[in-house]
Structure 1
Amino acid sequence: MIQNYIKIAWRNILKNRGYATINIVGLAIGLACCLLIVIYVQHELSYDKYHVNKDRIFRVVHDYKEVGSTEQHQIWGNAPIGEALKADFPEIEKIVQFSGQTSILLKQGENRFQEENVFFMDSTAFDVFSWKILAGNPHTALKNAYSVVLTESTAKKYFGDQNPIGKTIEGGLAAGRADAGLYTVTAVMADVPANSHFTFDALLSMSTFRKGRPDVFEKEGWDYVDFYTYFLTSKEFDPTKFNQKIPDFLKRHIQVHENASSKYGFHLEPMLQAYMHSTADRQPGTTGSFQNLYIFAIIGGFILLIACVNFMNLATSRSMERAKEVGVRKAIGANKSNLILQFMSESLVLVFIGGILAIALVIAFLPFMEAFSGKQFGYSTLLNGTTWTIFFLVTLITGILAASYPALILANFKPIKVLKGTFSNSKGGTLLRRGLVVFQFCLSIALIAGTVIVFSQLNQLQQQDLGFQKAQRLIIDYNFDEKVNNNLEAIKNTLAKDKDVQSVTASRTVPGAFFPNAGTEIMSTDGKMTNFAPSLYEVDIDFIPNMGIKMAAGRAYSRDFPADSAHSLVINESAAKLWGYSNPQDIIGKQFRQWGKEGTVIGVVKDFNYLSLHRKIEPLALRLEPSSSRYLTVNLQNVNQQTIDRMGKLWAELAPHRPFLYSFLDDNFNRQYEADYNFRRLFTAFSSLALFIACLGLLGLVTYTAQQRTKEIGVRKVLGASIYNLVLLLSSDFIRLLVIALCIATPLSWIAMNKWLDNFAYHIEPKWWMFAFAGFSAVLIALVTVSFQTFKAAKANPVDSLRDE
């Protein structure tokens, strides 16, 4: 019987190639999208799970509470907490600390590269993390000062196919610290897996850092921030009990001043939450978005549902063609279960073919998925047993769900009515099909509206007035080089002589790049010196005018005031409010103390978005300290390759020991939104596919409806109906259904997208026209789909349909 069922199923597919193709293609696209999203979700949820002791690794999250502001949490913190935790808590087996991400110029022979992704790391790193060592001893590789561990790709970049162990590589100053020298390669490790919450290209020994700055590791160094602290716990470790001991730990190690304006604390975070669930600032690497993951999972479900709805719609709408077959089978003894099994078998054959086509589509489009998402999956992902299990279950469940209702409908036909010719489609079946069409296009319209809102929000990011000028700013990164900083004014003046250069400035950071915080005391409104830790920009005298930053009160740094270099400070409006001054003019002339400098506040700049628009503008101090600079910002009148080439030649003359590393400020700043742009590309692609699948199903329904009403169309044409009247007649029912779908989809998509927009401190408000556009687009696309087939039916010769009995 099974063989007979499959044979009949195959004959029906060949007999109705058009409908079978629509069903198979729709299901294949739905299953392919679902599999691609499963691969993406699996990848996002797999971060850091390759570590052997992943469940026992925790990290310290530092908590800072300033008076009058919300509590801030960041991973970046002090060094002494590591040794203190290890000494006080026996349940902590290993502590590993590493510095903030470091940029360092490494040279080996003729090979010279500025490495941006480097950390100073404790020697216990390989006892805690499960990174694979290819050569060298993992337990001693980072023990001695001036030791370096290279990843496999970095080792090949400098040494080719040679064995680098024991060889030396020259390191320049890393972030301005006194750690230049010859580093000995003590180990080579495999490249860090892509599914790690932080990655690197080389590790320098923390003992090198200690040699340059021993003071920050002492008991008094709790205020110096430049380290990440992770630790491995015993198997009996209880995070709840540990958290209860933290207050006593802080009392033992930190002296709290009664008049302190800020409160320090910390809590633990499992490493497995670092990528997807951490909300703390100053992460050692990138973080994911669980909300976006959730959205993609929902979209995958939507697409699969739309494909299933297509299947059910087409199967039930064609039930009349199978009615006599069912009647005959029942009359000769077939029972209900036999018929259900037969029609389920036919449906599962279609699903099986669709599944094979889906796999082919995934193999073909996986590279595009990688490009869209910014992730590296590789074809090896398809060999994952979990992926195949999920795909098999999804395909099987899809086939059963999509086939069950049509099979039950067909199996319930009454043979007497069918064979007498008195059987007809029920009103319930018609209502069901209409309801499914509404459901399909409700999802499609919601996805279109979501796409419009995502595009609008990301366009807003591009067009938002940031409070500074980022266009045509060439950034030259010389990584705190002392020779450059010692000759800064001469270099600036030489670059400024170029015909396309309007101005040049130097600074430690630029908008969108890393910056530190600085403990700063300013006289508050009550006349007391109050300490906060605003963000810090160390700049030269030309920074504010070069960046086009406007003043809210007072003045910018000026060469006309020599005292500015030692006794003046400029802050932003948010910093003035932090110290209690709602009117920025009122803080001008107030006393300040910051990192060895004392003097008065001379100016307040208007707030500018030096952070991404995901976050509100935070308090900022702009300290005049050109000797701490890392970047030169060249304001260009014309940006072209000739200008860049001239800048490169000038740089080679001015700083021959430094590579010409340049970028543009707008590109650097927009890089903060890379994850958002990837989200937009994926959202748009999957939304388009959902709409395409819905239109496929609509095309099949319209084609079938037109065939069922062939004689009616013929009679109407004979009686004088125009092609326009007939197209309108056949299309109007579907358009009404789309209008209903629009009314349902609008509030649902409005609620969902408002939640997504909450991720941005500065975001658009969804407008009515966005939903109107989504509805109009869906109606237009559906109308084109419907009209093509209805026009074809309306144009047919009525004689052919009326003489056919």
Structure 2
Amino acid sequence: MLIAQYVRFERSYEHFIPGAENIYRVTLEQYLNGELQIASAENYPGVGPALLQELPEVTGFARLYNLGYKNNVIITNENAQPEPVAFKHRKFLYADSSFLPMMGYALVAGDPVTALAEPLKAVISEKYAKLYFGAENPIGQSLRLQDDDYNDELVTVTGVFKDLPLNTHLKFEVLFSYKTLYGRFEQAPERYGQSWRRKDMYTFIRVEPGTDPEMLEAKFPAIVDQYKPDLKEQNRKNLLGLQPLRAIHLTSDLAEEVEPNGDGRIVLFMSLIGLFVILIAWINYINLSTARAIERAKEVGIRKVSGALKGQLVRQFLVEATLVNLIALVLTSGHEYRSGFSSGTAWYFGAGQASLHTTASFIPCEYKPNAFLKRWRMLKNPGTQLFPATLSSTSSSMTFSTDNMRTNVNSATSSGCLHNRDHRFALTGYSETCTAGYWNGISSGMVGDEPVAARVRLPY
């Protein structure tokens, strides 16, 4: 049951977003002289507007700028009493005004259409609304935004959204309006507007229902040639691609991801392990049932000879099955084991298990002494011992296979931190830490700054 909950949780990412099947992230692959240089989750700021303008299948776009992975931001409520309230944030994004309506995020206060339409506007989560403003209404209140680039801005809260569930790859506590970026420096409107120079935006598009993503991707090269005509002269090529929103968590392993994603291979391994565990339990149950069949058969036979009715036998085995399931329910109800991937469908698994046990309880009630005695004489034949032996050997083989799969899962998760097929690694952290000494420390495996070392991510 725990494995089934984990698998279901990993496969449920973005399923709470309405219409997510029509939302895609636009990716970018850059080639030089025919060789892939980088496959990135980030894109040019001008990609979204261009796709909306050139392709009728695209009904909307939204851009996200993730400053949090390289900047700390301190957000302060200077008007809080008895003293200002300040928190350091890394889970924040700059978002187009179309982002909230596209993703269908529910606002408990404010208008999702206009909340991020103007510069210096912000929407915050319910959690931080309570931390910053307590019981006060946060709408219209001001927060001071200060970051590592010495920006100091006063933003107005225009909305409060429900705390996001864990099953999303976009985890943020604060959203600033995209136009707030325009005031960061003099060339900011050009850089963050519709530029095709720097790739530092996550671009999401919504398409018409029924649109074939492969046919849509086939139109991208002509758009790239139109907006970046100088690539051919430099022997460069840019390829735009589409990733379904719900597939990002388990299938995407690109550079500049918003957060480290899951691994579909591990989820598959866990599914197979869960299946093997069920099969092993089933085979062991058959072995145990076969071993106890003689005792229970004699019991049922004596009770039938003594005049017991079928209904009485049914009640006996139902009570036994109910007690077994109640004990199992108590043993598997620990909240600490469900923490992090609790699922509302856990009771369905429990109900299914109880149904199987209950159904199995009816089988002994159909016991017929004469038929059993004939079969028992057959079982005493040495040649018939092959079936129990086969069950036992099959169970042992499955146990070995399950342990082997566990070893493979551990190897798959650890090898990502040991080697990279492209001999490249991505370093996230502060730019000022990337000194020559720091690089030498990385190459020698002796990085002393543990927090910074923990931010070195090796793509697998």
Query: Taking structure 1 as reference, are residues 162 and 408 closer, same or farther at Cα in structure 2, changes over 3 Å only?
Result: same
Task: Tell me the residue number matched to 1:116.
Answer: 90
CA contact (8 A) 2:29 2:36 kept: no
Task: Tell me the residue number matched to 2:352.
Answer: 393
Deviation at 1:459, TM superposition (A): 7.4
CA contact (8 A) 1:145 1:207 kept: yes
1:245-267 CA distance string (max 9 Å, x none): 22322232220444424310112
Task: Tell me the residue number matched to 2:55.
Answer: 89
CA contact (8 A) 1:97 1:229 kept: yes
In structure 1, how many angstroms separate the alpha carbons of the residues matched to 2:366 and 2:325? Answer: 23
CA contact (8 A) 2:95 2:178 kept: yes
CA contact (8 A) 1:63 1:265 kept: yes
Gaps of 5+ in 2: 79-83
The one-letter amino acid paired with 1:75 is A
Task: Tell me the residue number matched to 2:436.
Answer: 544
SS in 1 for 2:219: helix
SS in 2 for 1:242: helix
Higher alpha-carbon Rg? 1
In structure 2, how many angstroms separate the alpha carbons of the residues matched to 1:141 and 1:188? Answer: 9
Q: Which structure has greater helix proportion?
A: 1
**1:664 aligned residue (441, 451, 455):** 451
Task: Tell me the residue number matched to 1:742.
Answer: none
1:287 paired with 2:261, answer yes
CA contact (8 A) 1:327 1:413 kept: no
In structure 1, how many angstroms separate the alpha carbons of the residues matched to 2:403 and 2:333? Answer: 27
Query: Taking structure 1 as reference, are residues 512 and 64 closer, same or farther at Cα in structure 2, changes over 3 Å only?
Result: closer
**1:190 aligned residue (152, 155, 162):** 162
Query: Taking structure 1 as reference, are residues 63 and 325 closer, same or farther at Cα in structure 2, changes over 3 Å only?
Result: same
Task: Tell me the residue number matched to 1:59.
Answer: 25
1:589-625 CA distance string (max 9 Å, x none): xxxxxxxxxxxxxxxxxx6789xxxxxxxxxxxxxxx
Structure scoring higher RCO (CA < 8 A, sep ≥ 6) equals 2
1:434 paired with 2:389, answer yes
CA contact (8 A) 1:327 1:416 kept: no
Task: Tell me the residue number matched to 2:398.
Answer: 443
SS in 2 for 1:285: coil
Normalising by structure 1, report the TM-score: 0.49
SS in 1 for 2:251: coil
**1:359 aligned residue (329, 334, 339):** 329
Work out the number of aligned pairs and report it: 445
CA contact (8 A) 1:149 1:202 kept: yes
In structure 2, how many angstroms separate the alpha carbons of the residues matched to 1:235 and 1:457? Answer: 37
1:210-258 CA distance string (max 9 Å, x none): 3331122455x31301101112223353324322322322232220444
The one-letter amino acid paired with 2:451 is F
In structure 1, how many angstroms separate the alpha carbons of the residues matched to 2:370 and 2:226? Answer: 78
Task: Tell me the residue number matched to 2:6.
Answer: 40
Query: Taking structure 1 as reference, are residues 248 and 430 closer, same or farther at Cα in structure 2, changes over 3 Å only?
Result: same
CA contact (8 A) 1:86 1:95 kept: yes
Query: Taking structure 1 as reference, are residues 331 and 666 closer, same or farther at Cα in structure 2, changes over 3 Å only?
Result: same
The one-letter amino acid paired with 1:83 is P
1:121-152 CA distance string (max 9 Å, x none): 11112210121211122211111111111111
CA contact (8 A) 1:76 1:100 kept: no
Q: What is the root-mean-square deviation in Å for CA atoms of aligned residues?
A: 3.9
CA contact (8 A) 1:328 1:415 kept: no
Query: Taking structure 1 as reference, are residues 309 and 369 closer, same or farther at Cα in structure 2, changes over 3 Å only?
Result: same
Deviation at 1:271, TM superposition (A): 0.9
The one-letter amino acid paired with 1:208 is T
Task: Tell me the residue number matched to 1:106.
Answer: 75
In structure 1, how many angstroms separate the alpha carbons of the residues matched to 2:28 and 2:419? Answer: 33
1:696-740 CA distance string (max 9 Å, x none): xxxxxxxxxxxxxxxxxxxxxxxxxxxxxxxxxxxxxxxxxxxxx
CA contact (8 A) 1:327 1:414 kept: no
1:280-679 → structure 2 map (5 Å cutoff): 280-322=254-296, 324=298, 350-364=320-334, 366-370=335-339, 375-377=340-342, 381=343, 384=344, 386-397=345-356, 413=371, 415=373, 425-427=380-382, 430-451=385-406, 512-514=427-429, 543-546=435-438, 548-549=440-441, 664-669=451-456
Deviation at 1:77, TM superposition (A): 1.2
The one-letter amino acid paired with 1:199 is K
SS in 2 for 1:223: coil
**2:243 aligned residue (260, 269, 273):** 269
The one-letter amino acid paired with 2:428 is A
CA contact (8 A) 1:330 1:415 kept: no
Deviation at 1:391, TM superposition (A): 3.6
1:141-180 → structure 2 map (5 Å cutoff): 141-173=115-147, 176=149, 179-180=151-152
Task: Tell me the residue number matched to 1:210.
Answer: 182
In structure 1, how many angstroms separate the alpha carbons of the residues matched to 2:137 and 2:283? Answer: 60
1:79 paired with 2:79, answer no
Task: Tell me the residue number matched to 1:708.
Answer: none
In structure 1, how many angstroms separate the alpha carbons of the residues matched to 2:222 and 2:289? Answer: 69
Deviation at 1:157, TM superposition (A): 1.9
Deviation at 1:82, TM superposition (A): 1.0
Query: Taking structure 1 as reference, are residues 206 and 93 closer, same or farther at Cα in structure 2, changes over 3 Å only?
Result: same
The one-letter amino acid paired with 1:444 is T
The one-letter amino acid paired with 1:202 is V
Deviation at 1:395, TM superposition (A): 4.2
Query: Taking structure 1 as reference, are residues 442 and 344 closer, same or farther at Cα in structure 2, changes over 3 Å only?
Result: farther
In structure 2, how many angstroms separate the alpha carbons of the residues matched to 1:539 and 1:323? Answer: 75
Deviation at 1:48, TM superposition (A): 1.0
1:4-25 CA distance string (max 9 Å, x none): xxxxxxxxxxxxxxxxxxxxxx
1:771-786 → structure 2 map (5 Å cutoff): none
Deviation at 1:538, TM superposition (A): 6.3
SS in 2 for 1:275: helix
Task: Tell me the residue number matched to 2:208.
Answer: 234
In structure 2, how many angstroms separate the alpha carbons of the residues matched to 1:407 and 1:435? Answer: 27
In structure 2, how many angstroms separate the alpha carbons of the residues matched to 1:199 and 1:253? Answer: 32
Deviation at 1:319, TM superposition (A): 3.0
Deviation at 1:344, TM superposition (A): 8.8
In structure 1, how many angstroms separate the alpha carbons of the residues matched to 2:285 and 2:85? Answer: 61
Gaps of 5+ in 1: 1-34, 467-509, 516-536, 551-606, 611-632, 637-662, 674-759, 762-805
SS in 2 for 1:208: helix
Deviation at 1:83, TM superposition (A): 0.8
SS in 2 for 1:138: coil
SS in 2 for 1:312: helix
1:433-481 CA distance string (max 9 Å, x none): 222222222232333445556667777888x699xxxxxxxxxxxxxxx
1:789-804 → structure 2 map (5 Å cutoff): none
CA contact (8 A) 2:30 2:238 kept: yes
Deviation at 1:345, TM superposition (A): 8.1
SS in 1 for 2:90: strand
In structure 1, how many angstroms separate the alpha carbons of the residues matched to 2:126 and 2:327? Answer: 38
Task: Tell me the residue number matched to 1:785.
Answer: none
